Structure 1
């Protein structure tokens, strides 16, 4: 019987490691004090943004992080800790959790791991202030578009001026 229990734990650690390794962003939060409605609302927001939100047994999650070489984050797996895993948008988990924590004081940002770099709670809050990837792309394209629009306007004005001179 003990071998079966150990085997199940090893499978769970492997599953957690796979998710942690695949995630671009991993944010840890203390959730104690959230009621069912608040937790459901948070999970819904995270799910809609493509963020996975899990509560793992701390010893298993800590061991998975350690096996991946992220020993610095293992100290945060104490007490009621939930993990938000962002796979596409690095800022989404931090942004959603930070915004939710502003309205619900029971939720507390603890730490994070973003593209292999360990973040403390303050760095997670900084990350939360970065706009979503779509907004950044739109701003970048807008910055490319502005000079092109000015160039097109300038060329059009030169063309109009030449036409006016030819008709005169």
Structure 2
């Protein structure tokens, strides 16, 4: 029988998974406690970052009704729970990984769709939610009702709308090769090996 502490940890993880707008799983092996603190600060208010045991994460994902590829649970895992601008969080993780090799982005999910590490990088290449919505609102020629509905739309839907808008513009003139879009249904990819966790990195016991 699982201990009360483990039951509580799984319940907390499951709740975080259900409530998050998106989730990114990473391998943090080799990062110092200070680097972990810097990473949390770099995510700002868009995401929280916590170390979690793979066994507990697997159970919590099942309890939350999330189909999580077990390849994402190889090696020491820390999870970014995104509860804000998904693009901002993806940028923070990508930029930190570029500057700190030990951080490996494994994959995750957004809007019910699984994401590979490459998908998350592509998300980071998008403009922020505010910029995307401003462009869309302008394209609607001042239609207040449409603009308000777009501000309430999920980011994944907004990104698809922007992609459609850019495609329309491409038909009417030269294509803009700088616009990036993020597929939301690619298969997750990443391999990692297990290692010890920092002593005070906020680990959920398993």
Decide which structure has greater helix share.
1
Show the counterpart of 2:204.
none
TM-score (norm 2): 0.62
Indicate whether 1:32 and 2:29 are aligned. yes
Indicate whether 1:54 and 2:37 are aligned. no
The structural deviation recorded for 1:32 is: 1.2
Q: Relative contact order (C-alpha < 8 Å, sep 6+): which is higher?
A: 2
SS in 1 for 2:37: helix
Counterpart mapping for 1:73-88 below 5 A: 73-88=69-84
User: Which ranges of structure 2 fall in alignment gaps of 5 or more residues?
Assistant: 143-206
Instruction: Give me the whole-angstrom Cα distance separating, in 2, the residues matched to 1:92 and 1:33.
Output: 24
Show the counterpart of 2:127.
131
User: Which ranges of structure 1 fall in alignment gaps of 5 or more residues?
Assistant: 147-168
The structural deviation recorded for 1:141 is: 3.3
The structural deviation recorded for 1:33 is: 1.6
Instruction: Give me the whole-angstrom Cα distance separating, in 1, the residues matched to 2:45 and 2:141.
Output: 28
Q: Is the contact made by 1:26 and 1:112 (CA closer than 8 Å) also made in structure 2?
A: yes
Q: Is the contact made by 2:15 and 2:64 (CA closer than 8 Å) also made in structure 1?
A: no
TM-score (norm 1): 0.75
Show the counterpart of 2:198.
none
Matched positions, count: 142
SS in 2 for 1:70: coil
Show the counterpart of 1:70.
66
Instruction: Give me the whole-angstrom Cα distance separating, in 1, the residues matched to 2:84 and 2:134.
Output: 17
Instruction: Give me the whole-angstrom Cα distance separating, in 1, the residues matched to 2:71 and 2:10.
Output: 17
Instruction: Give me the whole-angstrom Cα distance separating, in 2, the residues matched to 1:39 and 1:7.
Output: 28
Q: What's the CA shift string for 1:39-66, capped at 9, x where partnerless?
A: 22111111x2331101111111111112
Show the counterpart of 2:113.
117
SS in 2 for 1:33: coil
Instruction: Give me the whole-angstrom Cα distance separating, in 2, the residues matched to 1:104 and 1:143.
Output: 39
Q: Is the contact made by 1:27 and 1:93 (CA closer than 8 Å) also made in structure 2?
A: no
